[in-house]
A and B are shown apart, each in its own frame.
Chain A
């Protein structure tokens, strides 16, 4: 039986019905066609599905859509404004912080929150802050460089 929910996503309120077992990531991807949020491992490890739920980074494969009823969700589609990349997105682009790009939306969502909590992190703090996001291409070096670049405001 479907349950009524009202979830604001990237500033747009969506009042709809969902099956209780619908995961937030599937609500975003399949009900709203916001496919920037990826499903990687589907076991709460890889972080490709990271979104902000009421301002906090969470793994949307491990949240039920009904748990997000009344909440505000921000996805990767919601971090840029007026067609301009968010500085973190630009830093990933300019420092080659991605190869295949699959993990990138989750990386960016987690990294923005990392800098909100700690605007000038050390490399070790960046690595620890992104523990919840796995990348199988880059070896993380350029991801750390991207976050460092975004923190310093310096882009190439």
Chain B
């Protein structure tokens, strides 16, 4: 399968890339690792007029450690995130999530910025970013802005980035008591449901993958959690949830998975 023909642009800076996006007036897509976009283009589910390949912009790579947070360049691959000692120790949920995405070859190409900007509700990183209360930095013709995870994910494959903005980095607060647990049936498959738990003493932030058109907070679990009652609190994981039924699972089964996985994620987070 071969994608529909497109114009190919190779900017050498973020400013160039933004200008090229503007030139194509919303008909261009940003290419990072390409492991969501290229498969969609091969299936002709996407047929952009132009690809802006940001893969050679060196400033978009790398991991920066600060006392309270870790900043990760958008082009940093899942393999690099999974292998970074600073992330494994400071934000273990992110390291384990990156290590479980796709497979070895996919992790060598897929990027953190690409996964988050693609906002697939079955992707692992959006829920993890939401549970962490992380944020993304976007740059566009009007400058740079920071978007909290809670404001970033809008709907199925949709973020609050505007078409002429590029996600340049992701910032996550350090959270040592954090874990992500997902369930799927086959190797390298998308999560049917995933649960991200970030525990701070007697409070927790919980977010779920695969139960709606975007990652959702499990507010009822957060309200019930008292720092030790993992099983009781996790029982509320499906409260108010309207999980979809599809070929992978029924909504009812997803609700069951949510309760089980939230409990496991809370237990794993607290054991760290």
Q: Which residues of A contact B (CB under 8 A)?
A: 3, 19-23, 26, 42-45, 47, 50, 56-59, 61-64, 66-67, 110, 113-114, 129-133
Residues of B within 8 Å of A20, CB to CB, are 5-8, 51
Pairwise interchain contact A26-B108, C-beta atoms closer than 8 A: no
- Shortest C-beta distance, B119 to chain A (Å), equals 19
Q: Count A-B pairs with CB separation below 8 Å.
A: 79
Report 17 cross-chain contacts, Cβ distance below 8 Å, ordered by A residue. Answer: A21-B3, A23-B2, A23-B42, A43-B1, A44-B38, A47-B103, A56-B79, A58-B108, A59-B106, A64-B8, A64-B31, A64-B34, A110-B104, A114-B104, A129-B104, A131-B188, A132-B103
Residues of B within 8 Å of A63, CB to CB, are 34, 38, 109
Total chain B interface residues with beta-carbon distance under 8 A: 29
Asked whether B102 is an interface residue with its Cβ less than 8 Å from the other chain, the reply is: yes
Asked whether B187 is an interface residue with its Cβ less than 8 Å from the other chain, the reply is: yes
Residues of B within 8 Å of A61, CB to CB, are 42
- Shortest C-beta distance, B81 to chain A (Å), equals 15
User: Bound state CA distance, A20 and B2, in angstroms?
Assistant: 11
Residues of A within 8 Å of B39, CB to CB, are 43-44, 62
Residues of B within 8 Å of A19, CB to CB, are 5
- Shortest C-beta distance, B83 to chain A (Å), equals 10
Pairwise interchain contact B104-A131, C-beta atoms closer than 8 A: yes
Residues of A within 8 Å of B55, CB to CB, are 67
Asked whether B142 is an interface residue with its Cβ less than 8 Å from the other chain, the reply is: no
Residues of A within 8 Å of B104, CB to CB, are 57, 110, 113-114, 129-132
Pairwise interchain contact B1-A42, C-beta atoms closer than 8 A: yes
Asked whether B16 is an interface residue with its Cβ less than 8 Å from the other chain, the reply is: no
A131/B2 contact (C-beta < 8 A), A47-B103, A57-B104 known: no
Most chain B CB within a 10 A radius of its CB, from A61, A113, A132: A132
Contact of B188 among A45, A110, A113 (CB under 8 A): A45
Q: Provide the B168-198 mask, 1 if CB < 8 A to any CB of A, else 0.
A: 0000000000000000000110000000000
